Chain A
Amino acid sequence: MLENVVGREAELDRIGGFFRGEPESLALWLEGAAGIGKTTLWRAGIELGREREYHVLACQPTAAETAFSFAALGDLLRNDVADVLPELPGPQRRALEVALALASSGGPAVGQHLIGLAFLSALQLLAAREPVLVAVDDVQWLDPPSAAVLQFAARRLTTANVKLLVAARLEEDAQPLQLERDLAQNLLRVDVGPLSFGALHRLVLSRLGEPLSRPTLRKVHDVSGGNPFYALEIARFLLERGSTLRPAEPLPVPRTLEELVRVRLDRLPATVRHLLEAAALLAEPTPAALTAAASEPEREAGALDRALAAGLIELEGQRIRFTHPLLAAAVVSGIGPQRRQQLHARLAQIVSDPEERARHLALATEGAEAEIAESLEQAAERAARRGAPAVAAELAELASQRTPTTDHDARWRRLIEAGLRYATAGDLARARALLEPLTNEIPPGPRRAEVLLNLADFRWDDAGAAIELGERALAEVGSDDACRARIHMVLSSRALEAEAGSALGHSRAAYEAAERAADVELTLLALVNLVHVEVCVGEMTPGLLDRALARVSIDGARDARIPHFESPHFVLGLALLGLNRFEEAKALFDRARVDSLEQGVPFAAACADEFLAEVECRLGNWHAAALHASECSELYQQLGTQNQPQQLYATALVDAHLGKLEEARTAAERGAAIATEVGEEFWAIANRRVLGLVELSLDNPARAIEYLRPPARTHIASLWHMPSNCDFLETAIEAFVGVGDLAAAAQLLDGLQERARRIDSPWERAIRARCRGLLRSAQGDHDGARAAFDEALREHEQLNLPFDRGRTLLALGALQRRLKQRRAARVSLEAALAVFEELGARLWAEKARTELKRIAGRTPAGDALTPTERRVAELVAEGHPNKEIAATLFVTVKTVEANLTRIYAKLGIRSRTELARLLVDKSPVPERAQTST
């Protein structure tokens, strides 16, 4: 094989390097024009891979318009599927069997993700035994479901034991393929260019057995532009004609490559041409299929051998392939329209795959025909069940176009089907384009109500439009209670967002309708959504939450009918989070996460990870929190949608707790900016709170406030009654107290109190009490402060939230120290220190240690101020802003801030006000003797 590769030494070198990991990359991407020699190099690549003991999975898709779903996936796994299937987890095994038509597609439709996951698992299983090379020729012709599966796997491949070898045709104006974009960072590109003159000479000699004269070859090289396929065709033509060119005589060959190939095909006997035509139109041509397709099998018996001998096709097992895709394309373009319809009609009778049969039938006639529409509709259903919704949508749309215009019912049914399949495949714009006109065609009634409901569901970006559509649907739905329940659920969620105030009413109506419909899954979904809305609105029906908890068991099997996004565990987890029942919320989120991972739905798992990271921070399991945050980032990375504000929040929150402040800052600043940009205030606030917490950890309340100024529109953020909103207020209060702006702190404390009117919890009581303690302490009401801290600690006795408790102990200890209650202060501070040390809260432990050192009543030498710090302290105490101080001392504002941070730490204070007070009381400020360095 390799010795047949002519003039490609440089390319072969790079392919060899790819296998040696020089440079390390997942994929080798061979790219070039039609006929340039990609396939030759692709085959050489496979050969080189095999020499290096790679196990090869290969497919060579063709341009046949009858290719059926997962044809290429079937080719890739042809030799391994029997080995691999028994080792896959149950759901993945079924998905792969259904996709590859190895098992019946009865039962619920297979999700695209699950097929992708199964393929990924299969690759990993094989790669555990030996290195695996996935080789795809003419990747632009992959059937779309196979392409989706390959993309899914390629994004997630982490083992160095799997490599991809891809050949892609470079076409003018073509968009880069998704797979290419996904692999961009991990791809070695080889541009396959023209052959040199010398290489062309060697090629002609080796393939055609005789040379062309040098001047003729020069002309061939010029005309073909060094394209080997084109050049060989010209050379073949010239050699067969048997005359030499005179100088300056133009090449007597057709101008285009396709014409040239046609001349060659036209000289074949009719029997061979007919055989090639059938082979080009079949999705999977085999000798048996071609014999079956022949109109006069006996006359055509020798045709296959002649086509093979002519080098136009080759046999690979029982599969017939054109030796070059350009040959197949030329064969197809040469079939007249009438002959083509006859052929498709004939092929429809002999193929066994229903999808391929439906396509042949459709191509066999034009115009409406009930039987053809029917077969297309069946093919659509089958494709949908096999996990190929985009193909199903296209087939259903074709079916609607072929439906006789008088049959309204069938046409509407097929159009609705097509619209919903497009939606499943993620193409909401196409779905709307098909369904919207139907709302004017279909008479009012339950069927139109369903279309309106779906259109409402698609309006992600326009709550007003969704509500209008939902209300129209509600007016027509009649006695279909399941549909009514869904309409109410869409209306409820959109009403909450639009603040229409009717969310609770719709949620209750949804639950009642679902119960009337006796639909178990729908009732469960309606129930958990109702509980969540009750938490958001702050009106809990007694006993309802318990009913939901009883139905959503943690240990039970996942309900296969409920789609992953709608995990009742997740929604109930959100409700419990809103109620600050953190341990229970954690168990539900974890269950949702496991289900989502098992189902191959990274997005849903990432959502669960975000909240698990937050909850584990609260519960003091910071290592677990870090694992969830990193899994979350990884999952989004796999999805190709990094920089999600919620993911950045999780990362930043964990880093802020662990004292990785720079990392925390970077992530949270980005998260806040992106959230603001896309208009998600909730996540903007969550990220800004982390930035505030970072500054508080550094005793920098003035900078914390920059991030924590109350947002203008708090209602959106408070909509869900989430604990992170409470965190925001709590952090802001501490910062305002820190800078001595007690009025602002008091106002925010009122905001915290306001939350309690809706729903209260021991955690929020503890947080409020700590904040009250900080405020009272700053106001000089020491008894009030003491009582508040005690109250917070009493609440903490029932809670398992160490970080919050530690911060309360620290605040209490600091107060006791200032009140000269040395023994009590030591007990509180040592308890705080123990908590922080156990958590790994480095900076907070340091704060506790600093406070402890001060109890002795002396200021250790290390805590004395340097001359610069003293100067900064004095200027601050005189009321100068940082900018002025920086100008006065000829330093940057950052330096002033850094000095202030150290000053606060050394003096055990938190604000400029305190600093001013201290300097008035105790001036002069202790200054450390300058040591010469």
Chain B
Amino acid sequence: MTYEPYTLCDFVRRMLRTAGRVAGRLGHPA
């Protein structure tokens, strides 16, 4: 399996989520 769940710290998770929300997407923007 190549996918592994993120080990993100809370802060990075929130940054990704914010970016996703601003872009109108769920999850991460990249």
Q: Which residues of A contact B (CB under 8 A)?
A: 108-109, 113, 384-385, 416-417, 420-421, 423-424, 426, 428-429, 453-454, 456-458, 460-461, 486, 489-490, 492-494, 496-497, 503, 522, 525-526, 528-529, 532-533, 536, 563, 565-566, 570-571, 574, 601-604, 607, 639-641, 643-646, 674-675, 678-680, 682-683, 719-720
In the bound assembly, the distance between CA atoms of A529 and B10 in angstroms comes to 9
Q: Quick check: B18 and A525 within 8 Å, CB to CB?
A: no
**Which of A453, A457, A533 contacts B9 (CB under 8 A)?**
A533
Q: Quick check: B10 and A644 within 8 Å, CB to CB?
A: no
Residues of A within 8 A of B27 (CB): 426, 428, 458, 460
B28 to chain A, nearest CB (A): 7
- Chain A's closest residue to B5 (CB) is A457
Task: Tell me the residues in window 6-30 of chain B with beta carbons closer than 8 Å to chain A beta carbons.
Answer: 6-23, 25-30
Q: Quick check: A678 and B28 within 8 Å, CB to CB?
A: no
User: With A424-B3, A680-B18, A683-B18 given, is the CB distance from A493 to B8 under 8 Å?
Assistant: yes
Q: Quick check: A566 and B17 within 8 Å, CB to CB?
A: no
Q: Quick check: B9 and A456 within 8 Å, CB to CB?
A: no
Residues of A within 8 A of B12 (CB): 565-566, 570-571, 574, 607
- Chain A's closest residue to B1 (CB) is A420
Is the contact region of chain B dominated by helix, strand, or loop, or is it mixed?
loop
Is the contact region of chain A dominated by helix, strand, or loop, or is it mixed?
helix
**Which of B2, B5, B9, B29 contacts A639 (CB under 8 A)?**
B29
Q: Quick check: B19 and A486 within 8 Å, CB to CB?
A: no
Residues of A within 8 A of B19 (CB): 603, 641, 644, 646
Q: How many A-B residue pairs have CB under 8 A?
A: 125
Q: Quick check: A496 and B20 within 8 Å, CB to CB?
A: no
Q: Quick check: B11 and A532 within 8 Å, CB to CB?
A: yes
Q: Which residues of B contact A (CB under 8 A)?
A: 1-23, 25-30
Residues of A within 8 A of B13 (CB): 460, 493, 497
A641 to chain B, nearest CB (A): 4
A603 to chain B, nearest CB (A): 4
B16 to chain A, nearest CB (A): 7
A155 to chain B, nearest CB (A): 13
In the bound assembly, the distance between CA atoms of A639 and B15 in angstroms comes to 15
Q: Quick check: B10 and A522 within 8 Å, CB to CB?
A: no
**Which of A497, A526, A602 contacts B30 (CB under 8 A)?**
A602
In the bound assembly, the distance between CA atoms of A418 and B29 in angstroms comes to 20
- Chain B's closest residue to A455 (CB) is B5
Q: Quick check: A639 and B30 within 8 Å, CB to CB?
A: yes
Q: Quick check: A720 and B30 within 8 Å, CB to CB?
A: no
- Chain A's closest residue to B4 (CB) is A486
In the bound assembly, the distance between CA atoms of A544 and B4 in angstroms comes to 26
Q: Quick check: A536 and B10 within 8 Å, CB to CB?
A: yes
B17 to chain A, nearest CB (A): 5
**3 closest A-B pairs by CB:** A457-B5, A420-B3, A641-B23
Residues of A within 8 A of B17 (CB): 460-461
In the bound assembly, the distance between CA atoms of A429 and B27 in angstroms comes to 10
- Chain A's closest residue to B3 (CB) is A420
Residues of A within 8 A of B22 (CB): 641, 643-645, 674, 678
- Chain B's closest residue to A487 (CB) is B5
Q: Quick check: B6 and A457 within 8 Å, CB to CB?
A: yes
Q: What are 25 A-B contacts with C-beta separation under 8 Å?
A: A113-B30, A428-B26, A456-B5, A457-B6, A458-B27, A486-B5, A489-B8, A493-B10, A529-B9, A532-B11, A533-B9, A601-B30, A602-B30, A603-B29, A607-B15, A639-B23, A639-B29, A641-B22, A641-B23, A644-B22, A645-B18, A646-B15, A646-B19, A674-B22, A682-B14
Residues of B within 8 A of A486 (CB): 4-5, 7
Q: Quick check: A109 and B2 within 8 Å, CB to CB?
A: yes
User: With A424-B2, A426-B28 given, is the CB distance from A680 to B7 under 8 Å?
Assistant: no
Q: Quick check: A489 and B15 within 8 Å, CB to CB?
A: no
Residues of A within 8 A of B21 (CB): 678-680
Q: Quick check: A565 and B3 within 8 Å, CB to CB?
A: no
A634 to chain B, nearest CB (A): 15
In the bound assembly, the distance between CA atoms of A423 and B27 in angstroms comes to 9
- Chain B's closest residue to A381 (CB) is B2
- Chain B's closest residue to A510 (CB) is B7
